[in-house]
Chain A
Amino acid sequence: MSQIRALIVDDSSVMRKIVERSLRQAGLDLSSVMEAGNGAEALGILDANPVDLILSDINMPVMDGLEFVRQLQTVEKLRGVPVVMITTEGSESNVVQALSLGAKGYIRKPFTPDQVKEHVLPVLGL
C-alpha cells in the first residue's frame, strides 16, 4: 500500500501520540496523521479530509467511539474506511457492539506496538 492517511480519535493526547508512534513502529508509511479528541470532532475532520485508516477510543466525552462508528456508517464516502477500536474497557459487549456497527478490529489497552501491528495491518490488507 502507498502512503497512509490516518486519523486517531482519543480524548487523551498522550494516547494519541502513543498510537501514532506505534503505527510508525509497525512500519506504516504515514503521509499524514490527524487527531481528534472525540467522535464529533473526528466527523468534522473527516468532512474535509479523506483518510485510509481510523483508530478510535470507545470511552470519550461528547461523542463516544460507538456512536462515532454508527455515524460513520451513515455517510457513504466514509462507510468503507477501516476503523480499529482502541479501548480500555474490559467489556466484551462494547467490543461486540463496535464490530457489529462496522469496526474492523479492536486493540485493548494496555497494548504493545506489536499488538498494534498485529491488529492494524490485516485491516489494511497488509
Chain B
Amino acid sequence: MTPFSESSIPIAVFDRTAWTPLLELSAREVFDIMLSTRLRAFDKSADLNDGEFTALVGLAGSLCGVLSIRCNDQAARIMASKMLGMPEEEVDNDSWDALGEIANMIAGNFKGKLSGIGNHCMLSVPTIIVGTDYETRSVRGGNMIEVVFEFEGKPLWVSLELHE
C-alpha cells in the first residue's frame, strides 16, 4: 500500500444525495460487466431473513467505514455461477469467495468515482459472515447509505456505512 501522511489526506464530506446514485451505479456496473446481469431496484418489502450471506469490505483513509453486500444462499450461488460461467450445481465454496470479490469490486468502483478520494482510501480484503442473527455497531457515529436491488427475484442489499 502507498504510505501517506495524515495531514495530506483529503477527507471526503458525506453527501447522501450525490453518493447514493454513485453507489447504485457502482453496483450496477460490477454486475453488468462481471455477471452480465442488469440489476433493478427491489420494489417489494425486503426481509433480512433473505440475507444469510454478508460480505464486508473495510475502507480506511479519506473514507473510513464498511461496504457490505447481503443476499441469500441461492443468490450467492447464482452470482458465482454467472461469474465463473459454470452450472450452479458445480459451484462449491466459490459462492462465498464470489460474494466477497463482488463487494470488493463495488467498493473499489465507488471510491474511484469520488474525485480525489481514490488515492487516499485503502480497501481491506473481504470478510464473509454467514447467518442473519448479528448486529454491527460502529465505534464512532456515522452515516449510512443502503440500496436494495432485485437479483434473481430476491433482495440484494448494498450498504455503505461511513464513520465520522
Measuring CB to CB, which residues of chain A are less than 8 angstroms from any residue of chain B?
11-15, 17-18, 21, 59-61, 64, 66, 87-94, 97, 108-112
Contact = CB atoms under 8 A, between A and B. Distances in A.
A59 B1 CA distance: 8
Contacts of A94: 1-2
Contact of B104 (A66, A88, A97): A88
B2 A15 contact: no
Given A66-B1, A91-B119, A18 B83 contact: yes
B101 A15 contact: yes
B107 interface: yes
A112 B33 contact: yes
Given A14-B83, A110-B34, A91 B98 contact: no
Interface string B16-29: 00000000000001
Contacts of A18: 34, 83-84
Nearest to B93: A13
A89 B123 contact: yes
Q: 8 shortest A-B CB distances, which residue pairs?
A: A90-B112, A88-B108, A90-B118, A110-B33, A14-B97, A93-B119, A110-B34, A14-B98
B153 to A, nearest CB: 23
A89 to B, nearest CB: 6
B156 interface: no
B125 A92 contact: no
B155 interface: no
A118 to B, nearest CB: 14
A88 to B, nearest CB: 3
B80 A14 contact: yes
A12 B123 contact: no
Contacts of A88: 104-105, 107-109, 123
Contacts of B2: 66, 91, 93-94, 97
Contacts of B158: none
B83 A90 contact: no
Contacts of A13: 94, 97
A17 B84 contact: yes
A97 B2 CA distance: 8
Interface in B97-140: 97-98, 100-101, 104-105, 107-113, 118-119, 121-123, 125
B78 interface: no
